[in-house]
Amino acid sequence: MVVSTVELRNIAGTEAALGWAGSHTVVVDRPEGKAGGKGIGFNGAQLLGLAIGGCYCNDLRYTSHELGRGIGDIAVTVTVDLAGSPLIATKAEVSVDVQMLDGSDPKQVIEEAWRICTVANSLKKGFPALLVRM
């Protein structure tokens, strides 16, 4: 089993949080004027979209390497729909454009990468999100 852990702590003098894993960081905040937010970082829905799209971008690269097919440019857009109270994500739509280095059709790479996308598969199948007090 593979385990991935991230940490978050408040940023002094703000109501935002700094998240990190290893040497990589991200700022998490609410929009300007929302519950003390200053808009200095990503909100939860944006982070969810980035998780889906970022994982998919990585899987496009993994897949192309596995198949021995070089990728040039990748463009991925993720739109997350939210509704309800409490607000929850109700749908994420991913659009992708991939240019193969040899000019061939990217369909096989696009579909295989989506088939193995960890974040998308986890969301589609559902998984427990447990709150454990430190």
Give me the CATH number covering residue 88: 3.30.300.20
Same domain, 98 and 47: yes
109 in the same domain as 49: yes
Helices (H), 43-106: 44-67
Distances (CA, A) of 59 to 9, 27, 29, 83, 86: 29, 24, 28, 29, 32
Beta bridge partners of 81: 91
Q: Is the peptide bond before 128 cis (omega within 30 degrees of 0)?
A: no
Please indicate, yes or no, whether residues 120 and 65 belong to a single structural domain of this protein.
yes
- Nearest Cα neighbor of 35 from 62, 15, 21, 55 is 15
What pLDDT score was predicted for residue 6? 97
Taking phi over 0 as left and psi of -120 to 50 as alpha, with beta for the rest, 45 belongs to alpha
Residue 118's pLDDT band, with cuts at 50, 70 and 90, is very high
User: Per-residue b/e over 58-68, b at no fewer than 16 CB within 10 Å?
Assistant: ebbeebbeeee
User: Which pLDDT band, with edges at 50, 70 and 90, does 134 fall under?
Assistant: confident
Residues 85 and 120 in one domain: yes
Say whether both 48 and 35 belong to one domain. Answer: no
From residue 113, give the alpha-carbon distance in Å to each of 79, 98, 116: 18, 12, 5
Contacts (Cβ under 8 Å, ≥6 apart) of 103: none
133 is a domain residue: no
- Report the half-sphere exposure of 128 (CA within 13 A, side-chain side): 3
Q: Do 14 and 59 fall within a single domain?
A: no
Residues 37, 59, single domain; the answer is: no
Tell me, yes or no, whether 26 and 61 share the same domain: no
36-90 pLDDT, tens digit per residue, is 999 999 999 999 999 999 999 999 999 999 999 999 999 999 999 999 999 999 9
The answer to pTM > 0.85 is yes
Whether residue 68 sits in one domain with residue 100: yes
Mean pLDDT of 8-19: 96
How many structural domains compose the chain?
2
Domain membership of residue 8 as a residue range: 1-42
Q: What tokens appear for 124 in the block?
A: 């589609």
Per-residue pLDDT, 88: 95
Is 3 inside a domain boundary?
yes
